[in-house]
Structure 1
Amino acid sequence: MPPAWLGTRVLPRTAAGYGEIRPTPRELRDRRFTLPDTVPMLPGTGFASRVEIAPADVIARSTWVQGCPVAASDLAWVRLTFWGFDDRRHTGELLVKASVADQIVQVFGDLYRARFPIEEMRITTRAELTAPPTGDGNDTGSFNCRPKAGQKTGFSQHAYGLAVDVDPFQNPYVNGSLVLPELSSSYVDRSDVRPGMILPGGPVVRAFARIGWTWGGDWHSLKDLQHFSQNGT
């Protein structure tokens, strides 16, 4: 079970606007719980998916606004099943560029069959963009209309629906002393392998490579261990 305080303990902000980097709490050093699903379970007993052009109500609860670099009509609402840390079948949702929706379904079908565990899979909300940092989020997601990490201008590939982050807490973004999520420092040591970690040659890297997407864990100037994108950025 997740600790009762998960997502509630606000971190002081740094001058860069992130939360203060702190040691990983004991309860999260070997993180392996699954949060409640936010969409109804898809029928069946194995991998399943549903893809449709994103309805207006789904767009309304996402980060999409006028001025985002992708039209709302070009985003697909993808629901699919995934394997949780609780060894059970779950259903989550993603917003992705419609042109890659079938490929993303293929990736998560591969991960389901490999029983790669995922904590939660849901659409990022607009409120989360300005929410105070708690440093303990772990949402597997795609579309997020925001700038590139560490920059104030220029859109991230997430803003196009052409990038996916998988289990961010177990697979943090690391750039010098900056670690995001801010409480995930215990996962910077990749030699201490725990469930949910993305490793070179592992099932997640292989699944995305099969559709031609590349991994931020292969970058040299920084490591974005959670991040996969179509164009490599």
Structure 2
Amino acid sequence: MPSPRPRRRRAAVAVLIAAAVVTGCLPGRSSDGAPAGTSQPSPSDTTSATNGEPAVSPSATAAAGHTPGGPPPTAEEAIAADPPISTRPSWLGTRVLPLRADGFGQVQPTPPELRDRRLPPPVGVPRAGTDRFVATVSDVPEEVVARSTWSRRCPVAVSDLRYVTLSFWGFDGRAYRGELLLHASAADPVVTVFERLFEAGFPIEEMRVVSPEEVDALPTGDGNNTTAFVCRSVRGATSWSEHAYGLAVDINPFHNPYVKGDLVLPELASAYTDRGWERPGMILAGDVVTEAFAEIGWGWGGDWRGSVDWMHSSRSGR
């Protein structure tokens, strides 16, 4: 990740959103897993349990814009100025949330460690091996099909999907290799999107194929997996999600949550409903992410009315 997006002082933003059908985002609840079924790279090519150098940040008072002898920072300013952690908390993906009546987890305050989330990928995610963008598009290998959510009931045949591997920058400034399942007609255009993000230094925490176990898992509210194909219906409806066709992509869900009324997904990501406080990994109107998807004719969930889905881009715009 060459350089993070500049940060701006937090601005209070109230997210008041009316009812709408929940989209097919957030297929998995936990993000602490490496791509399974792939060949194991050497230890030097994968993340370690303590990867990522400690973040170098000014003191809380300096970062908040205060000078020695001046008034102390407010509580909100002090929280915003805390230096981001650079190692993954051991509890990620393990704390199951109480359920709401609608089956989602109860929305809870964002843990301090995740308010400015800049974590390296989980242990075992393969390094890219080069600082140049590299991508491959191929038929879906049988072992990938076996660990994916595809089944014969899905609205798309395996032969209409493609297995895509590509480079992405982690929040630790290292280049990693991710994987996506995409519709054959979308694979090449989406690769051009991620090439632009790579060239711009846009950071991504992890990118891997979602498993059936993740879809069925109880919510922990802290997942952050960038993904495309997931064979599932729209939340709260019976129609297929755009993800079920491989025609939608969710990027950094924790940094770019789905919001509908009092529901926030992931459930611990409420700190990221404040879009005025810009942090690395966020998708904002007119930025490189929205522009890159717009150039291939895809729409962004951040433009929706009635609900908002900042992580989500799709061919149909839904």
TM-score, structure 2 normalization: 0.71
What is the CA–CA distance in structure 2 between the aligned matches of 1:141 and 1:98, rounded to whole Å?
15
Q: For 1:149, which of 225, 229, 235 is the aligned residue? A: 235
Matched-pair contact (CA < 8 Å) for 1:37–1:120: no
Say which SS state the counterpart of residue 59 (structure 1) adopts: helix
What is the Cα deviation at residue 43 of structure 1?
Answer: 4.8
- Does the C-alpha gap of structure 1 residues 19 and 60 become closer, same or farther in structure 2, counting only changes over 3 Å? same
Q: For 2:175, which of 89, 92, 95 is the aligned residue? A: 89
What is the Cα deviation at residue 95 of structure 1?
Answer: 0.3
Residue equivalent to 1:32: 118
For 1:167-182, what aligned pairs fall within 5 Å after superposition? 167-182=252-267
Say which SS state the counterpart of residue 189 (structure 2) adopts: helix
Which protein has the bigger strand share?
1
Matched-pair contact (CA < 8 Å) for 1:174–1:180: yes
Aligned-partner residue type, residue 212 of structure 2:
R
Matched-pair contact (CA < 8 Å) for 2:205–2:225: yes
Kindly tell me the number of residue pairs found equivalent between the two proteins. 232
Matched-pair contact (CA < 8 Å) for 1:37–1:91: no
Root mean square deviation of aligned Cα: 1.1
What is the Cα deviation at residue 147 of structure 1?
Answer: 1.0
Residue equivalent to 1:68: 154
For 1:107-146, what aligned pairs fall within 5 Å after superposition? 107-146=193-232
- Whether 1:4 and 2:87 are equivalent positions in the alignment is no
Residue equivalent to 2:302: 217
Q: For 1:158, which of 223, 243, 253 is the aligned residue? A: 243
What is the CA–CA distance in structure 2 between the aligned matches of 1:47 and 1:88, rounded to whole Å?
12
What is the CA–CA distance in structure 2 between the aligned matches of 1:143 and 1:20, rounded to whole Å?
26
- Does the C-alpha gap of structure 1 residues 27 and 41 become closer, same or farther in structure 2, counting only changes over 3 Å? closer
What is the percentage of aligned positions where both structures have the same residue? Answer: 56
Residue equivalent to 2:81: none
Matched-pair contact (CA < 8 Å) for 1:140–1:165: yes
- Does the C-alpha gap of structure 1 residues 37 and 229 become closer, same or farther in structure 2, counting only changes over 3 Å? farther
- How big is each residue's C-alpha offset from its partner over 1:197-224, in whole Å with a ceiling of 9 and x where there is no partner? 1000001001111101010000011101
- How big is each residue's C-alpha offset from its partner over 1:46-81, in whole Å with a ceiling of 9 and x where there is no partner? 100011011111011000011101001111000000
Residue equivalent to 2:24: none
Q: For 1:47, which of 133, 156, 170 is the aligned residue? A: 133
Say which SS state the counterpart of residue 293 (structure 2) adopts: helix
Residue equivalent to 1:230: 315
Structure 1 runs (4+) greater than 6 angstroms displaced: none
What is the CA–CA distance in structure 2 between the aligned matches of 1:163 and 1:185, rounded to whole Å?
23
Q: For 1:20, which of 94, 102, 106 is the aligned residue? A: 106
Matched-pair contact (CA < 8 Å) for 2:130–2:175: no
Say which SS state the counterpart of residue 159 (structure 2) adopts: helix
What is the Cα deviation at residue 39 of structure 1?
Answer: 5.8
Aligned-partner residue type, residue 170 of structure 1:
H
What is the CA–CA distance in structure 1 between the aligned matches of 2:102 and 2:283, rounded to whole Å?
27
Matched-pair contact (CA < 8 Å) for 1:40–1:91: yes
- How big is each residue's C-alpha offset from its partner over 1:164-222, in whole Å with a ceiling of 9 and x where there is no partner? 00000000000010000000000001001111010000010011111010100000111
Matched-pair contact (CA < 8 Å) for 1:215–1:232: yes
Unaligned runs of 5+ in 2: 1-86
Aligned-partner residue type, residue 7 of structure 1:
G
Kindly indicate whether structure 1 or structure 2 has the higher relative contact order, using CA contacts under 8 Å at least 6 residues apart: 2
Say which SS state the counterpart of residue 2 (structure 1) adopts: coil
Q: For 2:270, which of 177, 185, 189 is the aligned residue? A: 185
Unaligned runs of 5+ in 1: none
Aligned-partner residue type, residue 189 of structure 2:
Q
Aligned-partner residue type, residue 133 of structure 1:
P
